[in-house]
Amino acid sequence: MAHKSPDPDLFYSLYTGIFKPQMIRLAIQIDLFSMLDDDPLSCPELAEACQCHPQGLQSLLDYLVAVQLLNCIQGKYSNTPTSAAFLNRRRKSFAGDWFMVETSPAVWDGFLQALRYGQPAYPIIPFEQDAWLESYRTPRLESSLEMWHAAGIDPMLNIPIRILDIACGCGIKSFALLQTNPSARVVCIDRPEVLDVSTCLAGRMGVRTRSSFRKGDLSTISLGSSEFNAALLGQITYYLTPDQNLELFDRIFTALLPGGLLLIDAAMRMEQPEEASSMIDFLTWASSGGGAYPFDAYKRWLLASGYQMVEQIGSTWLKAVK
Global pTM exceeds 0.95: no
- Which CATH topology does 136-321 take? Rossmann fold (3.40.50)
Q: What pLDDT, on the 0 to 100 scale, is given for residue 15?
A: 81
Beta pairing, strands 161-166 & 184-190: parallel
By CB neighbour count within 10 A (0-12 exposed, 13-18 middle, 19+ buried), where does 34 fall?
buried
Domains in the chain: boundaries: 8-98, 136-321
Identical fold between 8-98 and 136-321:
no
pLDDT score, position 16: 80
- What pLDDT, on a 0 to 100 scale, did the predictor assign at position 1? 47
Q: Per DSSP, what are the bridge partners of residue 303?
A: none
What pLDDT is recorded for position 3?
A: 58
* Count of beta carbons in the 10 Å neighbourhood of residue 158: 10
How many CA atoms within 13 Å lie on the side-chain side of 64? Answer: 28
Give the right CATH number for 8-98 from 1.10.10.10, 3.40.190.10, 3.30.499.10, 3.30.429.10: 1.10.10.10
pLDDT computed for residue 74 by the predictor: 96
3-state helix, strand, coil split of the chain in percent (to 5) is: 50, 15, 35
Angle formed by the axes of helices 54-66 and 19-29, nearest 10°: 120
162, containing H or E segment: strand 161-166
Residue 233, classed as helix, strand or coil, is: strand
**Confidence at residue 18, expressed as pLDDT on a 0 to 100 scale:** 86
Please list the rounded mean pLDDT of every run of 10 residues in the chain (322 residues). Answer: 78 87 96 96 97 96 97 97 97 96 93 96 94 94 97 95 97 98 98 97 98 94 96 95 97 98 95 90 95 97 96 96 98
User: Please, what's the largest Cα pairwise distance for the chain?
Assistant: 68
CA 208 to centroid of chain Cα atoms? 20
